[in-house]
A and B are shown apart, each in its own frame.
Chain A
Amino acid sequence: MPELDPIIHAPNRLRICAMLATSAELDFRLLKEQLDVSDSVLSKQLKALEDANYIEAKKRSYNGRPRTWVSLTDLGQSAFNNHVAALKSIINSD
């Protein structure tokens, strides 16, 4: 039976991983808009995921303005899939 991941389990981190699983990379600004949190709150959540090697953040310049692109690593994708599977198994357990 898959186990819940304590790093991903926090609501905002779960939603960050869910969004990152839909694409190759997402902009920091988009994540912030979707979660409706401040820069510092988002940075803190991303740092926790980055420390676990679940995400990668890359800074790139676009039209002269720096943008931070965040992506889920293979390890992060696997951890997210396992976490979702664990949630499903809890729901299906009697």
Chain B
Amino acid sequence: MKNDLPSQTEAKDALNAVHNIQQNLLIDYSPPVWLRLLMSLSYGAIFFGYGMTEHENTWALAIIVGAIIFTLSTALYYYLYKIQGIRIRIIPRSIKAEKINAYAAIGFAALGFLSRFLRTEMSLDWAPHICAATASIVMFWLLIKLPTGETVVKEN
């Protein structure tokens, strides 16, 4: 291959072809926005319920309902991809996706902890609202930017 190395233009064309086909696949086959919104909101509801829950109060119901809706919508998300011919990755393989997922996991854990801690220990009653909204927004961003769990959707 060393003897017939492509020119810079050919290499650029090849990289553009890689970029274009990946982006087309990610954008054309992504599940509807309402489903991703439902997943994000139900995920946020879990954080909100956790932050508001005290001994046997009704906010525990928000955790249960949020978890059920999130599980069902996630199953639908996987199914919609599968019937189109795409099986998405649960554990990423690329280093970039691994990093994003690791940061997200740490961030979600911190939000869960803060949602409850700030309200119960520091009397910041707005903390569950902020943490739930943040969790929803981050989840929605992840579903838009990393829809198959592996390759990042980029702006053209």
Q: Which of A11, A23, A34 contacts B150 (CB 8 A)?
A: A23
Q: Are B85 and A18 in contact (CB under 8 A)?
A: no
On whether the beta carbons of B22 and A91 are closer than 8 Å, the reply is: no
Asked if B107 is at the interface (CB within 8 A of a chain A CB), the reply is no
Give the nearest-CB partner of A28 in chain B: B85
A54 CA / B7 CA spacing, docked (Å) = 26
B86: shortest Cβ distance to chain A, in Å? 5
A61-91 vs B, Cβ < 8 Å mask (1 yes, 0 no): 0000001010000100100000010011011
Contacts A3-B2, A4-B5 given: A15-B18 contact, CB under 8 Å? yes
Are the C-beta atoms of B1 and A6 separated by less than 8 Å? Answer: yes
Tell me, yes or no, whether B17 is within 8 Å of chain A by CB.
yes
A59 within 8 A of B: no
Contact B24 A34 (CB under 8 A): yes
Residue of A whose beta carbon sits closest to that of B95: A81
Smallest CB gap from B19: residue in A: A18
Q: Are A21 and B17 in contact (CB under 8 A)?
A: no
Residues B6 and A15 in contact, CB atoms below 8 Å apart: no
Please report the C-alpha to C-alpha distance between residue A38 and residue B134 in the assembled complex, in whole angstroms.
Answer: 47
* B15 CB–A CB distance under 8 Å: yes
Out of B1, B12, B22, B87, which one reaches A21, CB within 8 Å? B22
What residues on A are CB-neighbors of B85 within 8 Å? 26-27, 29-30, 67
Q: Identify B5's interface contact among A14, A26, A74, A90, CB under 8 A.
A: A90
Q: Give B residues with C-beta under 8 Å from A.
A: 1-2, 5-8, 11-12, 14-15, 17-18, 21-22, 24-26, 29, 81, 84-90, 93-94, 148, 150-151
Question: Which 7 A/B pairs are nearest by Cβ-Cβ distance?
Answer: A27-B85, A30-B85, A90-B11, A25-B87, A18-B18, A22-B151, A24-B89
